[in-house]
Every structure is written in C-alpha cells, then in structure tokens.
Amino acid sequence: MSLLIKLYECPRSSIKPVASIEQCNALLNWFDNHLLELHSEAIVELTEQTLLKLLSDLYRLSANNCEQVFPTIPNFVHGASEYDEAYWQKVAQLRVKLKQLLDSFDFNQHQLFLQGSW
C-alpha cells in the first residue's frame, strides 16, 4: 500500500507526484477518520488545513495517546499495526515530509491531491 501525494493540473494526464508515503496504515486510518474513507485509486483533495491538522496530531502524539490520536488498523494487510520502533520511525518521517510540503507548496496557486494505491 502506498499513499501518493500529487500535484493536480488539467488535464489529468499532467498530474505530478510530489511525495510518496508507503506502508503507513495509521495514516490511512487518520484520513479515513478525518477526511473521508479512502479507496484504492481514489483521488481526494488535500487542503492546507487538513495537512496542518495532521501535522498537529503528529506533534502531540505520545506513547500514552497514540492509540487515540494516530491509531493503526488492526489486522490490516498493508502496513504494520504494532506501536513499535517502526511506527515511531514512520511518525518521524511523516512529520518531516509534511513540514517540508507545507513550507514549499503554494496552496494559493495549486491544488494538492492524495491518491491511494493498494
């Protein structure tokens, strides 16, 4: 499973990938609960506000609240569901990627879309 963040320009054939996040079932769960339930190959717009909310949740995440703030999907075949070292590494990577994206992407000039692929 991977979630591809893409820059969308008309026509659709000109969609340009700007980031890729793979094997993070907690992220899929977060989008399902805060945006809408994602389906493979669906394309959903990501607003700056949505990404700021996600980044805020990632920064307030702790071992005590991870099962409430950024829970994994139990027994999901794409990505681990344990709250182990790999989970915390993925959280750290997401924080960096989101911060970079928010700092560099011009939401006034472009639209940002998420495409699930699994």
Chain segment 25-46, per-residue pLDDT in tens? 899 889 889 987 776 767 788 8
| Percent of the chain residues topping a pLDDT of 70 | 83
Is residue 72 within 8 Å of 86, Cβ to Cβ? no
Give the global pTM: 0.82
81-97 mean pLDDT: 93
90-100 mean pLDDT: 94
> Which of 77, 29, 37, 75 minimizes the C-alpha distance to 54?
29
